[in-house]
Amino acid sequence: MLVVIPAWNEAANLHGVVGELRGARPDDDLLVVDDGSTDGTAELARRLDCRLVELPFHLGYGAAVQAGVKYGLRRGYPVAVTFDGDGQHDPADVEPLVEAVRQGADVALGSRFLSPGAYHGGLFRRAGRRLFSLLLRALTGLRLTDPTSGLKALGPRGQTLFALARFPDRFPDADALVLARRARLALAERPARMRQSHNRHSMHGGGRAVAYTFNMFLSLLVAAAGRESDLRG
């Protein structure tokens, strides 16, 4: 199977991430998607002997993940796992997700709220996640505890959905799950530990949180009310 590692200026963290993954999962193919880094992330990925998709300029997290998923789809991987390049995910949590896909899930999510005593983020993050959980439940009837999780395992149908031209390509979170539900994909959730990200540009941090919440809210409504044709090629 394929592990997609989106990385934007992660030269400081990539070594550790790849090392951990290799240690825990020696049989997986590791694909680093370099999202227009300027700190030699691509060079490092090459030196670490990873597969590499090098975007010509910075496209953003969602588009980087999507590029990796397209790579997996074209090579016919039965499972593609998305695993953030900043070291916040734990390779030990990958196997339950893969197992969920083998048992029929099209998209399996790692949730930090199903694992006890883990990092839950600050007050605002928790409130935001709760809000989106509730919204997601209202829109789809799904009870997912951690829709913003970046740790996912995708079966072939999940990969096809993530590769759609009109797939939400900023930060595919709750909106992606609404789309998955509309496309009648089977979703599953498994516990996952999330470590405090050592990322300088954590994507939900600081003043961008408000803009993020607003964008996600709009994107959710678009995903819920979008045209049927968005679910096809």
Partner 1 sequence: MPIRQKIFFLTIAVVLLLVILELVRRRRLRVEYSWLWLASALTIVLMILRYDLLIWITGLVGAVIPTSTLFFFSILYLALLSLNYSVRLSDLTRQVKELAQEVALLRAESSSSWEAPAARPPDPPRASAK
Residue ranges that bind partner 1, judged by CB under 8 A: 33, 51-57, 59, 63, 66-67, 70-71, 74, 165-166, 169
Which residues lie below 8 Å from residue 233, measured CB to CB, with a gap of 6+?
164, 165
Which CB sits closer to partner 1, 40 or 60? 60
Report whether 80 contacts 68 (CB < 8 A). yes
Least CB distance from residue 55 to partner 1, whole Å?
Answer: 5
Which CB sits closer to partner 1, 164 or 209? 164
Distance CA 223, CA 91 (A): 30
Report whether 92 contacts 192 (CB < 8 A). no
Which CB sits closer to partner 1, 26 or 117? 26
Which CB sits closer to partner 1, 115 or 215? 215
Least CB distance from residue 56 to partner 1, whole Å?
Answer: 5
Report whether 176 contacts 150 (CB < 8 A). no
Residue with tokens 């995708």, as numbered in its chain: 154
Least CB distance from residue 166 to partner 1, whole Å?
Answer: 8
Least CB distance from residue 59 to partner 1, whole Å?
Answer: 6
Least CB distance from residue 119 to partner 1, whole Å?
Answer: 32
E strands of the chain, at which residues? Answer: 2-7, 29-34, 51-54, 80-82, 107-111, 152-154, 187-191
Which CB sits closer to partner 1, 74 or 126? 74
